[in-house]
C-alpha cells in the first residue's frame, strides 16, 4: 500500500502533467500546517505558474477542476486558497478502509520500498585501542536506528563496524601487555586504565618507546608472535564493545565487523591505482593527492595524505579501499557513513578522490550522515567531573540506576524485580531517545533530568503512553493480536479522525527518514501521535459508550498503540506492556 502522501503526490503530479503538458513537475504535497488548511496541501502550483508565466490562481483553479473530475476516492474535497494553494480534505471512509487493512495485518503499518536497495551503514566504528566512551554514543544510536528503519523498508542493509584496530598505538599496547601485565597486575578488564598506563610508560621510558616502535614494524611485517598478542588484545577490546551494544540494545554483532586491518592487503594497490590515474604527488616527503576543490583558509591546496615516507598508510587510504569494496564487491547502491561532523572534510575528500580514481562510480551514493558533539551541561564536550572521558558502560549503568529511582518513586507498589526490569528498559531508552529526538547535525546537550522526565518529548513519556493504552486494552479484553475493524459508522468526533489520520501517517514518516536519515522526524511524529491520543482519550470516553462507538474507540486504541510500538522499535526502543 502506498502511503497517503505518496498516493496524493503521484495523483496530483499526474494531473499537473496532463494539465501543463510538462513531463516533470513537483506537486509539493505536504502535511497541512494547520487544521484550517485541511489534511494535506499541494503547494506546487505557484512555482509552476512562475515557470510557465501564468497566473497562479488561475492555474490552481484549473487544477482543482481536474482533480475534482478525477474523483479520487481518497479525497473528499479540495479548496483553492491564497495565491494557488490546494487544500486537501481526505475522505474519512477511505481512511477507515485503510485502517481496517492495517488492523487485519499490522505489519502493513509501514510500507516497504518499491525497489529495495543494498545499503551499507557504517556506524559506531570505535577505535579499539581504548574503551568505548561517550564520543561513540551518538553514532552508535543514530546509526542503529537508521539501519533498523532501512531494513524495515525492505532494503538489504549491510552493517559495517569499521573499527580502528591498526596503527602505532597497538605497538605500544602489545609491548606493554607483553612486558608488564603480570608485574602491574593490570587486567584488560579496565581497558581505559590499561591504555593510560601504557601511554604513561611510553611517554616516560624512552627504551620502552623504542621497543614499542619496533613492535609496530614486527606487527606490520606479520611476525606471528606479535600478531597473536595483537589478536588477543583486539578480541578483548571487541568483547567490551559487544557488551556495550548488548546493553544498549543495538543490533551490531561480531558479524558486522569490517575492521581497518581487513583492508591492509589492498592498501599498496590503492597507491598504485592513484599513481596510474596520475593523481599522486610527493609533498613534504609524503605521497598525497591534491584536488582543486580543496583549498585551505590561506588559499593553499589541501592534501589528502595517502602514504608517509616510512611507508605507513593513513586513515584516508583505508577509507579509499573501503569505498572500493563497498562499491565493487558489496555492490551497494548507497553507503552511509554515520560519523561525527568533525570528519566532514575527511569524507568530502575521500569521496572526491574515490570518484576521481574510479574506486566508486555513479552506481553508488556515498553519504556522510554527520552528527554534532555531545555536550555537558557546562556547554563543553561531555566529561566526568575530574575532566576524564566518560566510559560508555558507566554512563549506561548510571542511566539504569537513575531510572530505577524514578520508577520506584512513581510506582512503589510494583515488585522490585519488575521495577528493575522496567528501569533497565527506561534507562537505556531515555539515553537513546534524548539523542534521537534532536536534529543530529546540531551539537547536543546531555542532561539527565530532561531525558528522564515523564513530561515532554521523552522516552518515559512515550513508553508510559504506550503502557497506558496497553493496560486499557488488556482491561477491555482487547489486544493488537485480536484485530477489530473500525465499524462503518457515519459520525466520528474530530479527535477520533485526528487520531485515525495520525496513526496512518507512520508509514510516510518512516519513508522520509529512510531517505534523509533524520530519525528526529520519527521522534517528533511519535510525540505528536501520543498527544493526539491523549486528546482523543479525554474527549471520547470508552466506558459507557454504545456498542458501536465503543468498538470504534477500542479499534482506534489498537491502531495508535501499534503505531507507537512499531515507531519506538525503529528507534531501538522496546516498549513495556506495564509501567
Ligand atoms: N574509527 C573512527 C573514529 O573513531 C571512525 C570510523 C568511521 N568510519 C569510516 N569509514 N571512516 O573516528
- Give the span between the Cα atoms of 561 and 58, in whole angstroms: 44
Rounded distance from Cα 260 to ligand 1 centre (Å): 9
Residues 247 and 336 in one domain: yes
Which atom of ligand 1 approaches the CA of 340 most closely?
12
- Give the span between the Cα atoms of 352 and 556, in whole angstroms: 51
Residues 57 and 16 in one domain: yes
C-alpha cell of 49? 505558474
Q: Identify the pLDDT of residue 181.
A: 61
pLDDT beyond 90 at 193: no
Q: What angle do CA 371, 377, 381 make, to 5 degrees?
A: 45
Nearest to 542 by CA among 530, 529, 555, 531: 555
- Determine what percent of the chain is predicted with pLDDT higher than 70: 98
Question: Cβ atoms within 10 A of the Cβ of 247, count?
Answer: 17
- Give the span between the Cα atoms of 494 and 225, in whole angstroms: 73
- Give the span between the Cα atoms of 58 and 162, in whole angstroms: 56
Which atom of ligand 1 approaches the CA of 136 most closely?
4
pLDDT tens digits for range 373-385 = 989 888 888 887 7
Residues 360 and 402 in one domain: no
Residues 70 and 126 in one domain: no
In this structure, what CATH number is given to the domain that contains residue 488? 1.10.730.10
Residues 444 and 463 in one domain: no
In this structure, what CATH number is given to the domain that contains residue 351? 3.40.50.620
- Give the span between the Cα atoms of 566 and 506, in whole angstroms: 9
Task: Kindly report the average pLDDT of the chain as a whole number.
Answer: 93
pLDDT beyond 60 at 156: yes
- Paired residues of 38 in beta bridges: 88
Residues 405 and 519 in one domain: no
Q: Is the pTM value of this prediction over 0.75?
A: yes
Rounded distance from Cα 163 to ligand 1 centre (Å): 7
Average pLDDT over residues 100-127: 95
Q: Which of 354, 369, 384 represents a domain boundary (last residue)?
A: 369
**Best probe residue, ligand 1, of 120, 121, 122, 125 (max atoms within 8 Å of C-beta):** 125
Residues 69 and 125 in one domain: no
Residue 120 CB–ligand 1 contact under 6 Å: no
Q: Is residue 128 part of a domain?
A: yes
Q: Identify the pLDDT of residue 483.
A: 61
pLDDT beyond 90 at 187: no
pLDDT beyond 80 at 182: no
Residue 307 CB–ligand 1 contact under 6 Å: no
Residue 275 backbone phi and psi in degrees, to 5: -65, -45
Sole residue written with cell 484485530: 483
Q: Which of 420, 449, 478 represents a domain boundary (last residue)?
A: 449
Domain interval for residue 8: 4-90
C-alpha cell of 509? 514518516
Rounded distance from Cα 200 to ligand 1 centre (Å): 25
Q: Is residue 553 part of a domain?
A: yes
Which atom of ligand 1 approaches the CA of 322 most closely?
10
Question: Cβ atoms within 10 A of the Cβ of 362, count?
Answer: 6
pLDDT tens digits for range 232-270 = 899 999 999 999 999 999 999 999 999 999 999 999 999
Q: Which helix (H) or strand (E) holds 288?
A: strand 286-295
Q: Is residue 236 part of a domain?
A: yes
Cβ atoms of 155 and 370 closer than 8 Å: no
Q: What is the largest CA-CA distance in the chain?
A: 87
Nearest to 176 by CA among 150, 197, 157: 197
- Give the span between the Cα atoms of 18 and 11, in whole angstroms: 11
Q: Is residue 248 part of a domain?
A: yes
Q: Which of 48, 74, 90 represents a domain boundary (last residue)?
A: 90
Residue 322 CB–ligand 1 contact under 6 Å: yes
Nearest residue (by CA) to ligand 1, atom 6, is 125
Q: What angle do CA 198, 203, 207 make, to 5 degrees?
A: 90
Residue 167 CB–ligand 1 contact under 6 Å: no
Residues 552 and 490 in one domain: yes
Q: Is residue 289 part of a domain?
A: no
Which atom of ligand 1 approaches the CA of 315 most closely?
11
Average pLDDT over residues 302-326: 94
Highest mean pLDDT out of 67-81, 284-298, 382-396, 548-562: 67-81
Residue 164 CB–ligand 1 contact under 6 Å: yes
Provide the residue count of the chain.
579
Average pLDDT over residues 291-298: 91
- Confidence at 487, pLDDT banded by 50, 70, 90: confident
Question: Cβ atoms within 10 A of the Cβ of 279, count?
Answer: 18
Residues 14 and 81 in one domain: yes
Q: Provide the number of structural domains found in the chain.
A: 4
Q: Which helix (H) or strand (E) holds 122?
A: strand 118-122
- Determine what percent of the chain is predicted with pLDDT higher than 90: 80
Average pLDDT over residues 424-441: 97
pLDDT tens digits for range 397-421 = 999 999 999 999 998 999 999 999 9
- Confidence at 323, pLDDT banded by 50, 70, 90: very high
In this structure, what CATH number is given to the domain that contains residue 54? 3.30.1360.70
Q: Is residue 189 part of a domain?
A: yes
Residues 134 and 61 in one domain: no
Residue 144 CB–ligand 1 contact under 6 Å: no
Which atom of ligand 1 approaches the CA of 339 most closely?
7
Residues 363 and 399 in one domain: no
Q: Identify the pLDDT of residue 547.
A: 85
Q: Is residue 96 part of a domain?
A: no
Residues 401 and 318 in one domain: no
Q: Is residue 104 part of a domain?
A: no
Q: Where are the beta strands (DSSP E) in 388-460?
A: 444-445
Amino acid at each position: 500500500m502506498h502511503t497517503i502522501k505518496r498516493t496524493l503526490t503521484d495523483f496530483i503530479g499526474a494531473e499537473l502533467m496532463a494539465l501543463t503538458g510538462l513531463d516533470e513537475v513537483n506537486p509539493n504535497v505536504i502535511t497541512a500546517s494547520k487544521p484550517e488548511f485541511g489534511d494535506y496541501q499541494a503547494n506546487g502550483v505557484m512555482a509552476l505558474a512562475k515557470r510557465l508565466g501564468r497566473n497562479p490562481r488561475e492555474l490552481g483553479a484549473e487544477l482543482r477542476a481536474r482533480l475534482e473530475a478525477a474523483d479520487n476516492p481518497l479525497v473528499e474535497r479540495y479548496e483553492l486558497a491564497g495565491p494557488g494553494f490546494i487544500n486537501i480534505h481526505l475522505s474519512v471512509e477511505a481512511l477507515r478502509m485503510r485502517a481496517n487493512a492495517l488492523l487485519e495485518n499490522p505489519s502493513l503499518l509501514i510500507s516497504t520500498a518499491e525497489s529495495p536497495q543494498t545499503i551499507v551503514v557504517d556506524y559506531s566504528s570505535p577505535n579499539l585501542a581504548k574503551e568505548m566512551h561517550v564520543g561513540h554514543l551518538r553514532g552508535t544510536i543514530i546509526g542503529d536506528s537508521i539501519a533498523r528503519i532501512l531494513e524495515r523498508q525492505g532494503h538489504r542493509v549491510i552493517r559495517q563496524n569499521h573499527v580502528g584496530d591498526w596503527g602505532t598505538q597497538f605497538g605500544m599496547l602489545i609491548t606493554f601487555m607483553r612486558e608488564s601485565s603480570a608485574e602491574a597486575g593490570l587486567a584488560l578488564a579496565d581497558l581505559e586504565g590499561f591504555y593510560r598506563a601504557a601511554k604513561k610508560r611510553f611517554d616516560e621510558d624512552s627504551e620502552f618507546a623504542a621497543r614499542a616502535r619496533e613492535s609496530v614494524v614486527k606487527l606490520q611485517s606479520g611476525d606471528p608472535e606479535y600478531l597473536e598478542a595483537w589478536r588477543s588484545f583486539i578480541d578483548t577490546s571487541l568483547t567490551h564493545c559487544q557488551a556495550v551494544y548488548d546493553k544498549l540494545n543495538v543490533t551490531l554483532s561480531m558479524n558486522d565487523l569490517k575492521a581497518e586491518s581487513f583492508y591492509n592487503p589492498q592498501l599498496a594497490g590503492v597507491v598504485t591505482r592513484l599513481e596510474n590515474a596520475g593523481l599522486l604527488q610527493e609533498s613534504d616527503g609524503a605521497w598525497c593527492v591534491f584536488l582543486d576543490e580543496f583549498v585551505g583558509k590561506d588559499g593553499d591546496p589541501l592534501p589528502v595524505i595517502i602514504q608517509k615516507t616510512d611507508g605507513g598508510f593513513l586513515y584516508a587510504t583505508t577509507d579509499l579501499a573501503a569505498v572500493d569494496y563497498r562499491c565493487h564487491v558489496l555492490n551497494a547502491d548507497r553507503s552511509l557513513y554515520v560519523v561525527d561532523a568533525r570528519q566532514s572534510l575527511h569524507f568530502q575528500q575521500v569521496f572526491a578522490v574515490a570518484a576521481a580514481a574510479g574506486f566508486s562510480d555513479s552506481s553508488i551514493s556515498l553519504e556522510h550522515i554527520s552528527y554534532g558533539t555531545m555536550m555537558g551541561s557546562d556547554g563543553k564536550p561531555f566529561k566526568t567531573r575530574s575532566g576524564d572521558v566518560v566510559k560508555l558502560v558507566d554512563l549506561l549503568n548510571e542511566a539504569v540506576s537513575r531510572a530505577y529511582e524514578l520508577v520506584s518513586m512513581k510506582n512503589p507498589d510494583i515488585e522490585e524485580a519488575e521495577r528493575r526490569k522496567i528501569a533497565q528498559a527506561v534507562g537505556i531508552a531515555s539515553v537513546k531517545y534524548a539523542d534521537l529526538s534532536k536534529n543530529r547535525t546540531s551539537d547536543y546537550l546531555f542532561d539527565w533530568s530532561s531525558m528522564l522526565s515523564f513530561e515532554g518529548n521523552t522516552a518515559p513519556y512515550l513508553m508510559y503512553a504506550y503502557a497506558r493504552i496497553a493496560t486499557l486494552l488488556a482491561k477491555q479484553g482487547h489486544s493488537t493480536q485480536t484485530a477489530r475493524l473500525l465499524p462503518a459508522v457515519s459520525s466520528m468526533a474530530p479527535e477520533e479522525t485526528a487520531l485515525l489520520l495520525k496513526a496512518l501517517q507512520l508509514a510516510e514518516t518512516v519513508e522520509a527518514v529512510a531517505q534523509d536519515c533524520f530519525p528526529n522526524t520519527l521522534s517528533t511524529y511519535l510525540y505528536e501521535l501520543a498527544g493526539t491520543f491523549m486528546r482523543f482519550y479525554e474527549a471520547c470516553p470508552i466506558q459507557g459508550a454504545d456498542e458501536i462507538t465503543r468498538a470504534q474507540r477500542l479499534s482506534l486504541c489498537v491502531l495508535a498503540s501499534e503505531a507507537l510500538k512499531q515507531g519506538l522499535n525503529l528507534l531501538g526502543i522496546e516498549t513495556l506492556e506495564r509501567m
